[in-house]
Each structure stands twice: as structure tokens, then as C-alpha cells.
């Protein structure tokens, strides 16, 4: 069975993969974590285009996926157009920060956007805001330390540690007058409950998980390539050499998914 493949710089593909798989259990789904090249945020656009082109070529050769989801905002804004041009035979879905629903929902006409430096610096964020709410102010914050926390410590952290990790960012966003926060890094979705807890009724949290799932489902149906039937496994495929760090096994056990190396 040809799988669907979700690609991220690390474990950020898991919230998307788990949500999609819960709605489409008959689909074989592989979440790819590019451990070898993590993090993507500090890298230049040119570097990301090159490494993502090479990795996508390898993944297509290994798995022959019927759909590829780039479930990484940084990778999407940096390389989606190049990947679609280079691999025209496979539908590629990118991840767009949930600016539109946040702008439409904001009563204070101010939203916060939290992501990597590459995503926050990209003009695409401003373009989306101007398109859907030209009167709405955007306060963008790059949080590379939080990306590192999720990638390397989330599996070992308890609820209180996770909450403490997000509190400074929520405080900063609220201090700017925002009443909506867009999680524009897929890693941050693993802290969504903590963001909502820290923000309380003052802050609504927005992400792109459901939108990505709907887009992939639409492609499956329009192309007639859906795979109904028995439940299929969800796998986490990890790049990079050397012994895997222990938290990968903890992640696999927590989410009840299989690990494989690529």
C-alpha cells in the first residue's frame, strides 16, 4: 500500500499525523523527522531548498508516497514552490500558518504569531494578514529555544515543566495587546494545551492541523486514491546516523507508533 508521508524537521509532524490518522485509519501514514538537519529555523532559504529537495527525492525513492505533506511552516515558506516544480508527479501539501481564522476572530484586531526565525521573517505572514485583515496588527515572535525544548525535552517533561516553558511567550504576546495566537511552528502543537491554559480566556489559540487534514482528504477523494479498509499503522521515520537518543523511544511508546530509520 502506498503511504501518505508527512515531513517535518523533527517531531512536529506527529500532531498532524496523529490527527489525520484518527480520521483516516485506513491510510498508511509515515511521519518523517529530519533529525539529521534539525533545526530548520536558522538555515537560509537556499540551504533549505537544497536539503529538502535531496530529502524529498530520497523519501520518494524509499516509499513512493501518494501524497506528501510538508507539515513544517519553515520548510513550506522556504521550499514548497521548488519541491512542487521538481516533483510534479506527486501532490505536495504545504502548511500555512492559521493567520486567516485568527485575524477573523480577533476582537482587539491584534494577533500574535509564534514560530521559527525563518517563518517569522518571511513576508508571507504579512501578506496573509493584509489579505484577510488589513486593519489587524501582527506581532511576530521567533522562539527557537521553545522549538529545541519540544524536540529534545518534551518527552521527558511533565505538565508543569511544559507549562513553564510557554508562560513567558504567552505573557509577551498578551503584553502586545493580542487576543489570538497563531502557532506557526508545528512543534508548538505539542504544547497547545499548555498555551491555552496559560492564556486562559484572554487568548485564543489557532493552528493548521485540521486544515491540513482536510486538504489531504480532498486530494485523496478527488484523485480516487483513498485506501478504505482495515486500520493501518502509523510510523515515525527518523533521519540521521548514530544511536538514537532515548527520547525517541519514549515518543514512540507515548503515541504507540513504530520507529524506523532512514
Q: Which residue in 140, 145, 127, 133 sits closest to 42, CA to CA?
A: 145
For 63, the grid coordinates are 516509499
Q: Confirm whether 185 is a catalytic residue.
A: yes
- Residue 184 — φ and ψ, nearest 5°? -100, 20
Q: Confirm whether 136 is a catalytic residue.
A: no
**Distance from C-alpha of 178 to C-alpha of 257, rounded to nearest angstrom:** 37
End-to-end CA distance of the chain: give it in Å, rounded: 19
Query: Catalytic: which of 31, 110, 136, 185?
Result: 185
**Distance from C-alpha of 244 to C-alpha of 261, rounded to nearest angstrom:** 9
Report the 3 state secondary structure along 152-164.
HHCCCCCHHHHHH
**Distance from C-alpha of 164 to C-alpha of 245, rounded to nearest angstrom:** 24
The residues assigned a catalytic role are: 72, 185
Amino acid at each position: 500500500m502506498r503511504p501518505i508521508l508527512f515531513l517535518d524537521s523533527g517531531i512536529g509532524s506527529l500532531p498532524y499525523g496523529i490527527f489525520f490518522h484518527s480520521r483516516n485509519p485506513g491510510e498508511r501514514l509515515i511521519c518523517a523527522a529530519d533529525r539529521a538537519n534539525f533545526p530548520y529555523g536558522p538555515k537560509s532559504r537556499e540551504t533549505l531548498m537544497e536539503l529538502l529537495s535531496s530529502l524529498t527525492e530520497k523519501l520518494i525513492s524509499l516509499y513512493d508516497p501518494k501524497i506528501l505533506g510538508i507539515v513544517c511552516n519553515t520548510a513550506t515558506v522556504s521550499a514548497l514552490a521548488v519541491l512542487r516544480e521538481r516533483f510534479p508527479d506527486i501532490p505536495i501539501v504545504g502548511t500555512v500558518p492559521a493567520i486567516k481564522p485568527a485575524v477573523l476572530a480577533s476582537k482587539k484586531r491584534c494577533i500574535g504569531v509564534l514560530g521559527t526565525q525563518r517563518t517569522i521573517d518571511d513576508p508571507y505572514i504579512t501578506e496573509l494578514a493584509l489579505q484577510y485583515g488589513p486593519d489587524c496588527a501582527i506581532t511576530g515572535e521567533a522562539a527557537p529555544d521553545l522549538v529545541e525544548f519540544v524536540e529534545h525535552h518534551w518527552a521527558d517533561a511533565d505538565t508543569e515543566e511544559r507549562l513553564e516553558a510557554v508562560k513567558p511567550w504567552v505573557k509577551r504576546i498578551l503584553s502586545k495587546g493580542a487576543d489570538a495566537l497563531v502557532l506557526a511552528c508545528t512543534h508548538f502543537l505539542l504544547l497547545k494545551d499548555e498555551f491555552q491554559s496559560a492564556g486562559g480566556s484572554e487568548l485564543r489559540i489557532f493552528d493548521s492541523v485540521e486544515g491540513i487534514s482536510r486538504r489531504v482528504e480532498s486530494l485523496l477523494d478527488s484523485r480516487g486514491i483513498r485506501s478504505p479498509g482495515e486500520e493501518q499503522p502509523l510510523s515515525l521515520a527518523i533521519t540521521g546516523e548514530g544511536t538514537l537518543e532515548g527520547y525517541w523511544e519514549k515518543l514512540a511508546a507515548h503515541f504507540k507508533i513504530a520507529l524506523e530509520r532512514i
